[in-house]
């Protein structure tokens, strides 16, 4: 680089007026150098961490070149190895003849190698700046969450998405929403009071874990026997088959046991939204089966179907004994609870 700028001359004189090394501006021969990586030497710690990824390239090169080292370290010139000026963004070149590296500012780097892609360098600067902003945003977000005792939200955010989706499969929507909320906190640096409250609810849902598995229940009655049952209709559904429309009635008795009845005919109580109502009926136990870990009693030939209506105590004594129509069975009816307790006919 025979043609040097005034700034380069000034920097050269200020740092070493009697330089004799081959890297001084008046003697440097660009064709003897190879560009290795870009570098950042400014004071911003976040930019330093982001630019640190470039050191992997540099360390790999140094490992493959035994004895290689920095020219600046030996000469204690500091700043740019060519002009002596201090810089933030620059590049590292390798001098083949001396097996030494030089760190130089971007202006000198452009003069060293006219083929350097300025756009690529600017993209690199933008990338590490954006990365530094994200890193700073993450630090701030983590501090905010810790200050509000919401560290769990940060732990969820840091969990790899695929791993988190499996871990919180039981509440994946809560997981997804919380991750999105924290990502916005990283970006914008603030939450409203409502967002903090909502985040607490999401965290509570995730920390609660999966809901307990439903009880398996017991089989009721004896297969092929015809018996009386009292149960509440929980689900009314159906499907089309070769025999026409098949209705499926799913009952649950007072002990939480499941009873299933399938029929192609209309029951005596009709289809006028009977869900949630309790019935007493006579049926034949067709089978005992299991579905998704739940024991089911399969019924057939239902008859003598009667709705069991809860009654309140007009005396206000709290409970009373009533007699169900056509059954003669005594049951205790809890006032206000509308709950039939222990019919003797349930097997």
User: Does some domain include residue 37?
Assistant: yes
Mean pLDDT check: name the lowest of 25-29, 76-80, 221-225, 256-260: 76-80
User: Taking phi first (over 0 means left), then psi (-120 to 50 degrees means alpha), and beta for anything else, what does residue 233 get?
Assistant: beta
pLDDT on residue 141: 92
pLDDT on residue 270: 59
Higher pLDDT, 267 or 126: 126
| 180 and 267 housed in the same domain | no
Give the number of domains in the chain. Answer: 3
How confident is the prediction for the chain on average, in pLDDT?
78
| 110 and 145 housed in the same domain | no
Flag whether the pTM goes above 0.85.
no
pLDDT on residue 339: 37
pLDDT tens digits along 35-65: 888 888 877 777 777 777 777 888 888 889 9
| Domain's final residue, options 86, 116, 146 | 116
Domain hosting residue 278, numbered range: 226-341
| 330 and 248 housed in the same domain | yes
| 328 and 239 housed in the same domain | yes
User: Does some domain include residue 90?
Assistant: yes
User: Does some domain include residue 214?
Assistant: no
User: Does some domain include residue 15?
Assistant: yes
| 10 and 112 housed in the same domain | yes
- Complete DSSP assignment for 272-303: S--TT-EEEEEEEEEEEEEETTEEEEEEEEEE
User: Does some domain include residue 260?
Assistant: yes
| Domain's final residue, options 181, 208, 235 | 208
pLDDT tens digits along 13-29: 444 457 788 888 888 88
Percent of the chain with pLDDT over 90: 28
User: Which strand ranges, in their side-by-side order, compose the sheet holding 340-341?
Assistant: 319-323, 330-334, 340-341
Q: Is the pLDDT of residue 153 over 90?
A: yes
pLDDT tens digits along 267-311: 766 556 577 889 899 999 999 998 888 899 999 998 888 888 876
CATH number reported for the structural domain that contains residue 247 in this entry = 2.40.50
pLDDT-based confidence at 126, cuts 50/70/90?
confident
Tokens of 29: 């021969």
| 101 and 33 housed in the same domain | yes
User: Does some domain include residue 215?
Assistant: no
Q: Is the pLDDT of residue 108 over 90?
A: no
Q: Which residues are paired to 270 by β-bridges?
A: none
Contact indicator for 320, 284 with CB cutoff of 8 Å: no
Q: How many whole angstroms separate alpha carbon 146 and alpha carbon 130?
A: 24
| Domain's final residue, options 85, 116, 147 | 116
| 248 and 314 housed in the same domain | yes
pLDDT on residue 182: 93
Handedness of CA 48, 51, 55, 58 (dihedral sign): negative
pLDDT on residue 143: 93
User: Does some domain include residue 20?
Assistant: yes
């Amino acid at each position: 680089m025979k043609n040097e700028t005034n700034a380069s001359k000034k920097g050269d004189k200020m740092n070493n007026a009697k330089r004799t090394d081959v890297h001084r501006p008046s003697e440097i021969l660009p064709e003897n150098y190879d560009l290795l990586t870009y570098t950042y030497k400014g004071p911003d710690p976040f930019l330093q961490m982001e630019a640190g990824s470039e050191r992997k390239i540099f360390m790999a090169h140094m490992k493959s070149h035994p004895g290689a080292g920095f020219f600046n370290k030996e000469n204690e010139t500091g700043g740019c190895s060519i002009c002596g000026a201090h810089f933030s963004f620059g590049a590292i070149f390798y001098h083949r003849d001396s097996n030494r590296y030089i760190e130089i500012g971007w202006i000198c780097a452009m003069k060293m190698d006219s083929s350097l892609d300025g756009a690529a360098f600017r993209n690199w600067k933008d990338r590490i700046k954006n990365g530094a902003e994200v890193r700073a945003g993450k630090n701030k977000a983590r501090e905010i969450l810790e200050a509000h005792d919401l560290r769990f939200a940060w732990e969820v955010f840091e969990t790899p998405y695929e791993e988190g989706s499996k871990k919180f499969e039981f509440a994946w929507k809560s997981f997804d929403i919380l991750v999105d909320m924290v990502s916005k906190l990283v970006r914008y640096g603030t939450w409203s009071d409502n967002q903090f409250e909502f985040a607490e609810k999401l965290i509570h849902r995730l920390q609660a874990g999966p809901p307990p598995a439903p009880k398996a229940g017991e089989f009721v009655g004896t297969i092929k026997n015809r018996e009386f049952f009292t149960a509440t209709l929980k689900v009314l559904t159906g499907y089309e088959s070769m025999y026409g429309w098949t209705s499926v009635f799913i009952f649950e008795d007072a002990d939480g046991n499941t009873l299933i009845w399938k029929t192609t005919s209309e029951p005596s109580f009709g289809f006028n939204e009977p869900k949630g109502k309790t019935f007493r009926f006579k049926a034949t136990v067709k089978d005992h089966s299991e579905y998704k870990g739940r024991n089911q009693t399969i019924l057939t030939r239902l008859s003598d179907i009667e709705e069991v209506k809860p009654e309140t105590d007009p005396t206000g004594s709290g409970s009373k004994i009533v007699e169900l129509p056509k059954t003669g069975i005594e049951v205790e009816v809890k006032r206000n609870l509308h709950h039939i307790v222990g019919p003797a006919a349930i097997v």
